[in-house]
A and B are shown apart, each in its own frame.
Chain A
Amino acid sequence: GQQLNQSPQSMFIQEGEDVSMNCTSSSIFNTWLWYKQDPGEGPVLLIALYKAGELTSNGRLTAQFGITRKDSFLNISASIPSDVGIYFCAGPFLMLAGGTSYGKLTFGQGTILTVHP
């Protein structure tokens, strides 16, 4: 099945530093999603990308849909302590059932971010 490889697995940074993480796949995706999970909470959608080459920002977060459609990148600028959490990439693979297309998400393993004040 489709797999997403997310790197790095973990990062320890100082407050104020920029962060970069990426996600790669052996298959082409038409959509890339980035989620953040705070400790003890459910994943929250940060950014959705729908077009190859697309660059989208959400505050200090910027995500890019790779031109090959097999990768995506998430950058966080000027990190702060509340950026701590696990960041997941996700992409759908289409399935057909009764003539209706729908997507189940494949998730990366996550990048654990720790920010030291």
Chain B
Amino acid sequence: NAGVTQTPKFRVLKTGQSMTLLCAQDMNHEYMYWYRQDPGMGLRLIHYSVGEGTTAKGEVPDGYNVSRLKKQNFLLGLESAAPSQTSVYFCASSSGTLAGGYEQYFGPGTRLTVT
């Protein structure tokens, strides 16, 4: 039982390049989330999904797109990377049920640098 996994762990992009971050969970969770973490800013929600085939915007969605084609996977895309997107990205999942459903479980993170 791996929990939440993220690939890649590190990536360096040039401004304007695109990339996709992959998140996978094996806990059969309905809900999945993408956060970014910057020094002094805490964790900020980018996009989230409440089930396969659904996505919604979080606090800071601009410049990112997401897809949830399979229940276990949640992809975060950067179409044209900007230096302001240099950050550490975390994926999380939760069951969404009333009993303990708010507990989110996080992946190990992807450290992205845009030059």
Contacts and interface: CB of A to CB of B under 8 A. Distances in A.
B45 interface: yes
Given A42-B106, A97-B50, A104-B58, A110 B42 contact: yes
Interface string B36-54: 0000101101001010000
Given A33-B102, A42-B107, A100 B50 contact: yes
A88 interface: yes
B48 A104 contact: yes
A31 interface: yes
Contact of A109 (B4, B42, B101, B104): B42
Interface stretch (A18-26, A43-51, A53-61, A70-78): A43-51
Interface of B: 4, 31, 33, 40, 42-43, 45, 48, 50, 56, 58, 90, 92, 96, 98, 100-109
